[in-house]
Chain A
Amino acid sequence: MQATVEREKELITRVIAGENDLFHELIRPYERMVYLAILTMLRNEQEAEDASQEVMINAFRHLKSFRGESKFSTWLVTIAMNEARQRLRKAKAAPVDSLDEGKEDREGDFTPAVLTDWREIPSEALEKKEMRQILRQAVDQLPPIYREVLVLRDLEELNQEETASALGINVPLVKVRLHRARMMLQKLLAPTLRPAAPAKKGFFGRMFQ
């Protein structure tokens, strides 16, 4: 891991010094990360691809402004999330980020769904491919402010601090939004993924209606 960091530092210095071609090598490990972060936000493959290319070009043009205070990957993902937010804003002609900031800080007024039949990873219950599609659709349904936290924390597996830094929000807000995002996902997926009626359905049905 340390070797990668050192190599990365060296690449950055050399690209800034004029060895432009090394930029290809520098970003190669992050191609997928950038694309997925943007795809999850934009929900359109073609636009996500175009946006990812723009992000990498912008990163190249502004590499000098990378100060090494954060990890290079966090810096890249910050650019990626900004690009995605900008495009979402343009598409909706309404801001997605500052939307109701603070409103979601109230916790606890959600009701999770019960998935008694789904305690094991349901490799047999559903075709895996179908399952992935269902999951993607559920993620797509989350409002952007929750989706962006979920994608960085649970898909890209950034830590809380990196996520906060990439999104320009504080760590407590990351926690609150992540919790909400996960609970929304749980609730969205429960009815779809419940295969057969469990014996105790009546009981749980009563509890959660």
Chain B
Amino acid sequence: MTLECKNVWEHISGYLDKQLDPKLLTDIEKHLENCEVCSAILDSTRNILVLTADNRIYELPVGYSERLHARLEKAIRETAESRSDST
């Protein structure tokens, strides 16, 4: 079966996640071999995902962990106290 570009676009995500059934996969790969537009869209989407997974996209604020554990410590103490009060 010959796929149109539009049909290929619907499956880009499934293709990247390797979730397509073998028949569809073969059809899409055949299309990609001959279609520069679709293969460019596929490559660019894949690249965006590679970048998205890059840990440096988002950074933790300086001192984040210290503040988190300090506040947590306080909450833990309070919880422990109220638990011992109620028993």
**How far apart are the CA atoms of A115 and B60 in the complex, in Å?**
31
If A45-B61, A60-B75 touch, does A186 touch B67 (CB 8 Å cutoff)?
Answer: no
**How far apart are the CA atoms of A191 and B80 in the complex, in Å?**
55
**How big is the B interface, by class?**
35 or more
Residues of B within 8 A of A (CB): 6, 9-10, 12-14, 16, 19, 36-37, 40-41, 43-45, 47-54, 56-58, 60-61, 64-65, 67-69, 71-73, 75-76, 79-80
Q: Does A178 contact B (CB under 8 A)?
A: yes
**How far apart are the CA atoms of A132 and B48 in the complex, in Å?**
10
Question: Which DSSP category, helix, strand, loop or mixed, fits chain A's interface?
Answer: helix
**Residues 19-38 of A contacting B (Cβ, < 8 Å):** 20-21, 23-24, 27, 31-32, 35-36
Q: Would you list 13 pairs from A and B whose C-beta atoms are within 8 A, ordered by A residue? A: A31-B65, A39-B58, A49-B64, A61-B79, A108-B6, A114-B41, A119-B44, A121-B50, A154-B52, A175-B14, A179-B12, A182-B45, A186-B41
Q: Which of A49, A57, A114 contacts B75 (CB 8 A)?
A: A57
**How far apart are the CA atoms of A8 and B49 in the complex, in Å?**
30
A112 touches B41 (CB 8 A): yes
Chain B residues whose CB sits within 8 angstroms of the CB of A132 once the complex forms: 51, 54, 56-57
B40 touches A116 (CB 8 A): yes
Q: Does A104 contact B (CB under 8 A)?
A: no
**How far apart are the CA atoms of A20 and B74 in the complex, in Å?**
11
Smallest CB–CB gap between B53 and chain A, Å?
6
Q: Does A136 contact B (CB under 8 A)?
A: yes
Which interface residue of A60, A121, A136, A178 has the most chain B CB atoms within 10 A?
Answer: A121
If A49-B64, A139-B52 touch, does A108 touch B9 (CB 8 Å cutoff)?
Answer: yes
Q: Does A107 contact B (CB under 8 A)?
A: yes
Chain B residues whose CB sits within 8 angstroms of the CB of A175 once the complex forms: 13-14, 19
**CB-defined interface of A88-132 with B at 8 Å, one 1/0 digit per residue?**
000000000000000000011011111110111110000000011
